[in-house]
Structure 1
Amino acid sequence: MRFYHRFLLWLLMALAAPVAVAVPPIKPAAEAPAVPADTLGRETPRSMVAGLIGALAELDYDRAAQFLDIPAPANNRQQLNAASQARAFHALLDDNGSLKPFAALSNADTGRLDDDLPADQEIIGEVKLQGKEVPILLTRGADGEHQIWRVSKETLAQIAAAAKGAPAAQPPAKNETLVAGAPLKDWGVLLGLGVVVFGGLWIVSFICVTVIRRLVADPAASSGYRFAEAALPPLSLLIAVFVFYNWADQLPVSIVARQTLLRYTGVITAIALVWFGLRLVDGIADLAVARMQRHQRRQIVSVIILARRTVKFLLLAFAGIGILGTFGIDVTTGIAALGIGGIALALGAQKTVENLVGSVTIIADRPLQVGDFVRVGDVVGTVEDIGIRSSRIRTGERTVVTVPNGDLSARQIENYAERDRFLFNPVIAIAYGTTSAKLREAIRIVQQVLAGHEKMAEGARARLGNITDRAFNIEVFSYIDVPEFDVQVIVREELLLAIYEQLEAAGIGLAFPTQTILCAPAEGVSPQPS
Structure 2
Amino acid sequence: MGNFSWQEPFGISLLDWGITAGLIIVSIIGAKVIFWLLSKVVSKLARKTKSQLDDLLIDLLEKPIAYIIGSFGIWKSIDWLQLGETGQGRIDKIFFIVLLGFVAWAITRTIEALIESYLVPIIEKTESDLDDQLIPILRKVLKSTVWIMAIILGLNNAGYDVGAIVAGLGIGGLALALAAQDSVKNLFGGFTIFVDKPFKVKDRIKISGFDGSVEEIGIRSTRIRTLDGRMVTIPNSKFSESAIENISSEPSRKVVLNLGLTYDTDSDGIKKGMELLKEIVSSKNGVDEKVVVGFNAFNDSALNIICVYFISPGADILGVQTEINLEILENFSNAKLDFAFPTQTLFIEKDN
Indicate the TM-score class for this superposition, using the shorter chain for normalisation: 0.5 to 0.7
Shift of 1:204: 4.5
* Aligned 1:283-432 pairs, distance under 5 A: 283-286=117-120, 313-322=141-150, 333-341=164-172, 343-355=174-186, 358=189, 366=196, 368-370=198-200, 372-377=203-208, 378=210, 380-382=212-214, 385=217, 390=220, 392-393=222-223, 395=225, 403-426=234-257
Say which SS state the counterpart of residue 319 (structure 1) adopts.
helix
Find the aligned partners of 2:298 and 2:193 in 1 and give their Cα distance.
42
Pick closer, same or farther for the CA change 1:460–1:199 going to 2, 3 Å. farther
| Pairing partner for 1:480 from 310, 322, 336 | 310
Rate the CA distance shift 1:332–1:197 in 2: closer, same or farther, 3 A.
Answer: farther
1:234 aligns with 2:60: yes
Report how far residue 317 of structure 1 moved: 1.5
5+ residue gaps, structure 2 = 341-352
Change (3 A) 1:354 1:261: closer
Aligned length: 316
Residues 446, 462 of structure 1: 8 Å contact kept: no
Call closer, same or farther: CA 1:271–1:288 in 2, change over 3 Å. Answer: same
Q: Which residue identity does 1:404 align to in structure 2?
A: P
3-state DSSP of counterpart to 1:380:
strand
Q: Which moved more, 1:486-495 or 1:373-382?
A: 486-495
Q: Deviation digits for residues 119-148 of structure 1, max 9, x if unmatched?
A: xxxxxxxxx9xxxxxxxxxxxxxxxxxxxx
Query: d(CA) in 2 for partners of 1:405 and 1:427?
Result: 41
C-alpha separation in 1, matches of 2:13 and 2:199:
65
Offset at 1:380?
2.2
Q: Which residue of 2 aligns with 1:95?
A: 18
The C-alpha deviation readout for 1:423-450, integer Å capped at 9, x for no partner, is 21356688x9x96469845465325544
SS of aligned partner of 1:225: coil
* Pairs within 5 Å for 1:18-167: 80-81=2-3, 87-89=10-12, 94-97=17-20
| Alpha-carbon distance, 1:245 to partner | 3.6
Preserved contact between residue 204 and residue 214 of structure 2 (Cα < 8 Å):
yes
Unmatched segments (≥5 aa) in structure 1: 1-60, 62-79, 99-127, 129-185, 216-223, 512-530
Tell me if 1:446 matches 2:277. Answer: yes
Displacement after TM superposition at 1:274 (Å): 0.8
Change (3 A) 1:401 1:459: same
CA distance in 2, matches of 1:416, 1:229: 44
1:201 aligns with 2:201: no
Equivalent residue letter for 2:168: A
CA RMSD across the alignment: 5.6
Q: Which amino acid aligns with 1:380?
A: G
Match of 1:267 in 2: 101
CA contact (8 A) 2:199 2:246 kept: no
Cα pair distance change 1:289/1:329, threshold 3 Å: farther
1:282 is displaced (CA, Å) by 3.8
- Give the CA deviation at 1:502: 2.5
Larger Rg: 1
- Report the identity percentage: 18
- Judging changes above 3 Å, is the alpha-carbon distance between structure 1 residues 208 and 308 closer, same or farther for their aligned structure 2 residues? farther
Instruction: Give 3-state SS (helix, strand or coil) of 1:485's partner.
Output: coil
Summarize deviations over 1:283-333 as a string: whole Å, max 9, x none: 223466689x8xxxx9xxx99x98996586234312244157659796655
Deviations 1:171-224 (A, max 9, x none): xxxxxxxxxxxxxxx9x9988876675466334465445x43xx7xxxxxxxx4
Contact map agreement 2:207 2:244 (CA 8 A) in 1 = yes
Give TM-score scaled by structure 2 length.
0.60
The answer on 1:457 being equivalent to 2:290 is: yes
- Report the CA distance shift for 1:341/1:227 in structure 2 as closer, same or farther (over 3 A): closer
Give the TM-score of the pair, scaled to structure 1. Answer: 0.44
Q: Which amino acid aligns with 1:485?
A: G
Distance 1:354 1:278, change over 3 A: same
Q: Secondary structure at the match of 1:407?
A: helix
Query: Are the counterparts in 2 of residues 380 and 395 from structure 1 also a CA contact under 8 Å?
Result: yes
**Residue by residue, what CA displacement relative to the aligned partner does 1:439-470 show, whole Å, maximum 9, x if unpaired?**
845465325544777725364557689789xx
Aligned counterparts of 1:93 and 1:460: Cα–Cα separation in 2: 102
